[in-house]
Amino acid sequence: MKKLPAGVPWIAPAVGLLLALSIYPLIYSIKVSFTSEAGGFTAAHYARLFQDRLFAVACWQTAEYLTVALVVEFGLGLSLALLVDSLGRGRGVFRAGLLAPMLLPPVVAAVIWRLIYNPQFGVLNGTLRAAGIPAQRLTWTSGESSAMFSVLLVDIWEWTPFLFLLLSAGLQAIPQEPYEAAKIDGASQWQVFRDITLPLLKPTIVLALLLRAMDLARIFDQIFILTQGGPGFATETVSLYIYRTAFRFFNFGYAAAMSFVALALTTIFARALLRGMRAGSAR
């Protein structure tokens, strides 16, 4: 009987699972994106993408959401990480407290915020009214202009701790020697931050931004719970539009085509981000 190499049976389950759960569905979804409702080959789904105004709007809104959330969450996360890192005692307590929002499942966080945002019965407007601020017409998730801001606020509240956590870990990994040398040389706080902290933190920053950007590009759960993409189409994102097309309208071909375009856009964005950061490091 033919003998198999000793390792084959032990790696076969992992390879089998990878093939069954990742590679096969990926190839299958490529096929689906080129399949018409009648079952024949078609490139019409990709052609339709260029005429679909709603898909373009969803892409634009996703990019807007991603950019604002990433910039604000990074700015706040870095500031908090620097602040907590500079603390002597009580650092652990602050760190644990700041991480609390991130520990909530996004769906739970969204449900809580939906209650908070309720214009008549919510805590937010209730507090504003109690403070004498006329909040009667502050409609948060229901207003065309305020809905995107409201969902962004929830994202920032929940996911700033993620960036804080990564950047905080990065700060702790920076050796103390350069700081001591800078102190002896009489460098200012800003010079220390710009010339020591930031360059040494750069690998962590790249990783944190990349992970968060990829997560933001597929934002779904919070918006689904808070606004369902509304009012009108004001908070619709690519993931929500793909979900609706696939599972509400059952047009898997078009949904698969949109997914691949979204994947391509995310890849281009990630590569651009990496290249930009590398170019920054080279300077």
Task: Using CB under 8 A, list all residues that contact another protein.
Answer: 1-6, 8-10, 12-13, 54, 118-121, 136-144, 147, 227-234, 244, 247-251
Distance, in Å, from the CA atom of 171 to the CA atom of 178, rounded to the nearest integer, reads 13
d(CA 200, CA 107): 36
Cβ at position 133, least distance to another protein in Å: 15
Distance CA 76, CA 71 (A): 9
Q: What are phi and psi of 208, to 5 degrees?
A: -65, -45
Q: 10 Å Cβ neighbour count for 222?
A: 23
Question: CA 152 to CA 269: how far, in whole Å?
Answer: 20
Q: CA-CA distances (angstroms) from residue 83 to 10, 76, 94, 95, 237? A: 48, 10, 10, 11, 34
Q: Tell me the C-alpha to C-alpha distance, in Å, between residue 94 and each of 12, 164, 268, 281.
A: 46, 11, 37, 31
Q: Quick one: 48 or 202, whose CB is closer to another protein?
A: 48
Q: State the nearest-atom distance from the C-beta of 215 to another protein, in Å.
A: 22
Closer residue to another protein in complex, CB, 28/97: 28
Q: Which is nearer to another protein, 36 or 79 (CB)?
A: 36
Shortest Å, Cβ 22 to another protein: 20
Q: Which two tokens stand for residue 121?
A: 């019965």
Q: Tell the smallest beta-carbon distance from residue 249 to another protein (Å).
A: 4
Instruction: Give the Cα separation of 79 and 96 in Å (integer).
Output: 16
Q: How much is the CA Rg of the chain, to the nearest whole Å? A: 24
2 vs 89, which CB is nearer to another protein?
Answer: 2
Q: Minimal distance in Å, beta carbon 29 to another protein?
A: 15
Among 131, 278, 109, 112, smallest CA distance to 206 is for 278
Task: Report the nearest approach of another protein to the CB of residue 246 (Å).
Answer: 8
- Closest to another protein by CB, 164 or 252: 252
Residues in CB range of 203: below 8 A, 6 or more apart: 170
Burial of 163 (0-12, 13-18, 19+ CB in 10 A): buried
- The distance of closest approach from Cβ of residue 115 to another protein in the complex, given in angstroms and rounded to an integer, is 10
Closer CB to another protein, 179 or 243, in the complex: 243
CB closer to another protein, 4 vs 282: 4
Task: Using the minimum distance from each CB to another protein, give the nearer residue, 155 or 236.
Answer: 236
